[in-house]
Amino acid sequence: MSGRRILLLGHPVEHSLSPAFQQAAFDSIGLPVTYEAMDVAPADLARVVAELRADPLVMGANVTVPHKEKIAPLLDSLTDEAVQIGAVNTITRAGSRLVGRNTDAAGFRGALNGLLDGRRTPRHALVLGAGGAAKAAISALVTAGVAQISIANRHLARAERLVAEVRKASPHLTVRAAPWHEGLLIEEAQIAGLVVHATTLGLSDGALPLPAAAFRAGQFVIDVVYAPGETALVHTARAAGAEAIDGREMLLLQGAAAFELWTGRPAPLEVMRAAFDAAAGHAQK
């Protein structure tokens, strides 16, 4: 391999749609860059990062589950946003130094803007989950002007730790942890103008994190999970009259933001969208 490369580090990575839409983006603007998925077992992560640092042909990387948090201390510096979110999904190169960044919050913010389509950001949001995706979503919700956030997580202690972090970073916000109890979650969801699902439920098993009773007309719902076709959550929320989207736009827009960081050029979003949909349709077969 002699050309410039961008790598996607994850475990597993073979089902990721990022190689399809990122490669289409490089090809469409004639940049001779290869975007490659690399399956990296957790025990090999430090060695692989050292190899990337030593290879000037590697322009950068994307990072996905399960490495987003563990990779941070292996890099040479982190942006403020990556520190605040506590996770890295994009790496850029500055000479021989590797910089850890996070474009998931930008991706979420773009997806939220698309859903709201000029309407006001709801004041009260319910976020399900307290991992990396939830942190990125919350970071975006704070800048979008949400005033009150309830964070529900299966392990309540993790939600409580996240609440403490959010309070410290954004003292003006009303934020609290909610137990993972169906009856309470339905009540929380019903009063929230925006419900964000950011757990791994429904990724591969069609599981429904909230029942139909949680949803209503006039409510916005973002499922950060992407699965070809409609996720069970999006289907259920729409059937109850809510406006709901899955993780497709967030995934595309975090990828577009990463592309712009690597190349300094505007991302060809429509090319990326078409390549994403073609690859997702293929993955469904």
Residues with a catalytic annotation lie at: 68
196, β-bridge pairs: 127, 222
- Please give the Cα distance from 8 to 13 (Å, whole number): 8
Q: Binding pattern to ligand NDP, positions 54-83, x when CB under 6 A?
A: -----------x--x---------------
Count interface residues toward ligand NDP (CB under 6 A).
26
The answer to whether 101 and 81 are in contact (CB under 8 A) is: yes
Residue given tokens 């998925």 in the structure block: 37
Q: Compare residues 139 and 153 and give the one whose CB is closer to ligand NDP.
A: 153
Task: Give me Rg for the CA atoms of the chain.
Answer: 19
19 binds ligand NDP (CB under 6 A): no
- Please give the Cα distance from 20 to 23 (Å, whole number): 6
Q: Compare residues 141 and 224 and give the one whose CB is closer to ligand NDP.
A: 224
- Please give the Cα distance from 261 to 146 (Å, whole number): 27
47 binds ligand NDP (CB under 6 A): no
* Token duo for residue 33: 């860059």
- 144 three-class SS: helix
The answer to whether 163 and 78 are in contact (CB under 8 A) is: no
Q: Compare residues 113 and 200 and give the one whose CB is closer to ligand NDP.
A: 200
10 binds ligand NDP (CB under 6 A): no
H or E, element range at 85: helix 80-85
CB count within 10 Å of CB 181 equals 12
Q: Which residue is nearest to ligand NDP (CB)?
A: 131
Binding residue (CB under 6 A) for ligand NDP from 107, 110, 122, 268 = 107
- Quick one: which segment of 119-127, 165-173, 210-218, 245-253 binds ligand NDP (CB under 6 A)? 245-253
Q: Compare residues 12 and 241 and give the one whose CB is closer to ligand NDP.
A: 12
273 binds ligand NDP (CB under 6 A): no
Residue 208 CB, shortest distance to ligand NDP, in Å, is 11
Nearest to 135 by CA among 99, 174, 82, 182: 82
Residue type, 122: P
Q: Compare residues 53 and 158 and give the one whose CB is closer to ligand NDP.
A: 158
- Please give the Cα distance from 284 to 267 (Å, whole number): 26
CA angle, 20 as apex, 117 and 103 as ends, to 5°?
Answer: 50
86 binds ligand NDP (CB under 6 A): no
129-168 residues in contact with ligand NDP (CB under 6 A) are 129-134, 153-155, 158
Residue 188 CB, shortest distance to ligand NDP, in Å, is 15
Q: Compare residues 154 and 273 and give the one whose CB is closer to ligand NDP.
A: 154
Which residues would be at the binding site for ligand NDP (CB under 6 A)? 65, 68, 104, 107, 129-134, 153-155, 158, 198-201, 203, 224-226, 247, 250-251, 254
